[in-house]
Amino acid sequence: MTETLSYQKPVPVVADVDVLVVGGGPAGIGAAVAAGRNGAKTMLVERFGFLGGNATAGLVGPFMTSFSQDGKVHLIRGVFNELVERAEQLGGAIHPSKVEGGSEFAGFITYGHHRVTPFDPEAVKIVAAEMCDEAGVELRLHTFMVDALVEDGAVAGVIVASKSGLEAIRAKVTVDCSADADIAARAGAAFHKGREGDGLMQPMTLFFRIANVDDEKVNQYIADHPDEHRPYTSVVTAARERGEFPIPRLAIGLYRTPQKGVWRINTTRLQELDGTDVRDLTKAEIEGRKQVMFLLKFFRRYCPGLENCTLLDTAAMIGVRETRRIVGEYTLTADDLATGRDFDDVIALCGYPIDIHSPNGNGGTMTPEAFVCANVYQIPYRSLVPEKLDRLLVAGRCVSASHEALGAIRVMPPAFAMGQAAGTAAALAVAEGVEPRNVPIPWLQDTLTKQGAYLGDVAARRVHQPTVS
């Protein structure tokens, strides 16, 4: 039994806001900007000294597709597309409309990779902060969420820790964009972890970037090996047969960035670990960097085009694909994605397929044969709403979805879209004086579409005029 102690201390209330967003990653950026633009007094709490989450601290990229699976319809727009366009103006992104599946920017992958978005993390840091500032969002960086404040079955704010000590922030509505449902879990919301049966979650990956890559030579290798499912498959297979490739991967995941000779590497793999356990996170960080050093030597010795590569940087944090998923008013399933099911409360359209990295093997499901997925599928608002907890919305990879459905919606563009929907709903709930679960859906959809989100023709047929009190 773990020893416990009681700790009691007065905590100053340093802010009282309409909407509090916790977590400044893609979902949090979307939520905070949307809430601020819809007139709510909004605060965004972020643990790092910059925004972006996995896109910046995690070096994860490119942004996976924001288009339909066939690359023909631009689905995820709004805050996400504005951020991309502004980053592009800084020379820090390539708009997805200009990126073809199968290209070096898409990691030479076609399925699910039409219209990805290469970007520079530094551009995202700058643009995200500017967009929040312009929306009137108060930023609290270098601030860690410690606990949830719960009153009568509702989240009333959070306790945070920073260089200023322990502080309390009160809010009319809180949006949990922690990626791990930290607020929801601490407030007592029900949640699931991992796949059915064994509870294992998708593995973690430490992204890193390499420079001094011979772009032409890498492209030529791919052209000369058209039968390889992924880059350098034969090289990795041969090395594994010699006992020289211990990482549980079948090939090398690499994506060219907007900068010449600079590529992102998505190849390290840390399995059977829990991203909500600090001991497992510590183990993943240490082992991940060991794998990075192994891969650098491997690249230089065996991979054409990478012979002279140098390490540019490793991510500031391990990339976590899956932890908690709340039990919401609706649980999105693989069947919903396969059939493209229509939802009356649709708040986002997506096209990225089900992509589950094996929790304990060296493969994954990133093939059309593994899971059927519609060209366009929908995410309902109810998946953002905890089943029983009030004054709280959840956005990002911890929404209410099955393990399989999460494999599709966990990537960053859907997180932006869910965040924008949650932030908009939170602001509307405050304006109307209702619980987030009771926000009029037609009004929410109409507001989203007016502010750049794309919901197809579902919301376009509806008009809602809010009640004037």
Q: Could you please report the per-residue DSSP string of 87-135?
A: HHHTT-B--GGG--TTSGGGTT--TT-TT-B-B-HHHHHHHHHHHHHHT
Distances (CA, A) of 57 to 42, 52, 318, 426: 23, 7, 9, 27
Q: Please check whether residue 456 lies inside any domain of the structure.
A: no
* Cα-Cα end-to-end distance for the chain: 55
pLDDT tens per residue across span 96-113: 999 999 999 999 999 999
Q: Is 465 contained in some domain?
A: no
| pLDDT for res 159 | 98
Residues 124 and 29 occupy one common structural domain: yes
* Statement to judge: residues 245 and 119 lie in one domain: no
Indicate whether 286 belongs to any domain: yes
Distance CA 103, CA 411 (A): 20
Residue 429 and residue 363 share a domain? yes
User: Are residues 344 and 309 located together in one domain of the fold?
Assistant: no
* Residues 21, 108 share a domain: yes
**Of residues 280, 286, 284, 254, the one with CA closest to residue 269:** 284
Total domains in the chain come to 2
The tokens of 98 are what?
């200009």
Query: Which tokens is 383 given?
Result: 């998946």
Beta bridge partners of 167: 160
Tokens of 366: 């990133």
Residues in the chain, total: 469
Two structure tokens written together for 224: 């000369």
Q: Is residue 259 part of a domain?
A: yes
Q: Are residues 297 and 444 in the same domain?
A: no
Per the CB < 8 A criterion, the answer to whether 307 and 237 are in contact is no
Give mean pLDDT, residues 5-23.
97
Same domain, 50 and 116: yes
Same domain, 122 and 216: no
Are both 160 and 220 inside the same structural domain?
Answer: no
CB 286 within 8 Å of CB 374: no
- 34 and 178 in a common domain: yes
The domain in which residue 418 lies consists of 13-198+324-450
Residue that finishes a domain, picked among 294, 314, 334:
314
Is residue 369 very low, low, confident or very high in pLDDT (cuts 50, 70, 90)? confident
> What are 210-267's pLDDT values in tens digits?
999 999 999 999 999 999 989 999 999 999 999 999 999 999 999 999 999 999 999 9
Report the CATH number at residue 52. Answer: 3.50.50.60
Q: Name the helix (H) or strand (E) containing 165.
A: strand 165-176
Residues 58, 60, 65, CA angle at the centre, nearest 5°?
145
What confidence tens digit (pLDDT) does each residue in 304-357 have? 999 999 999 999 999 999 999 999 999 999 999 999 999 999 999 999 999 999
pTM over 0.85: yes
Last residue of a domain, one of 249, 281, 314: 314
Does residue 309 lie in a domain region?
Answer: yes
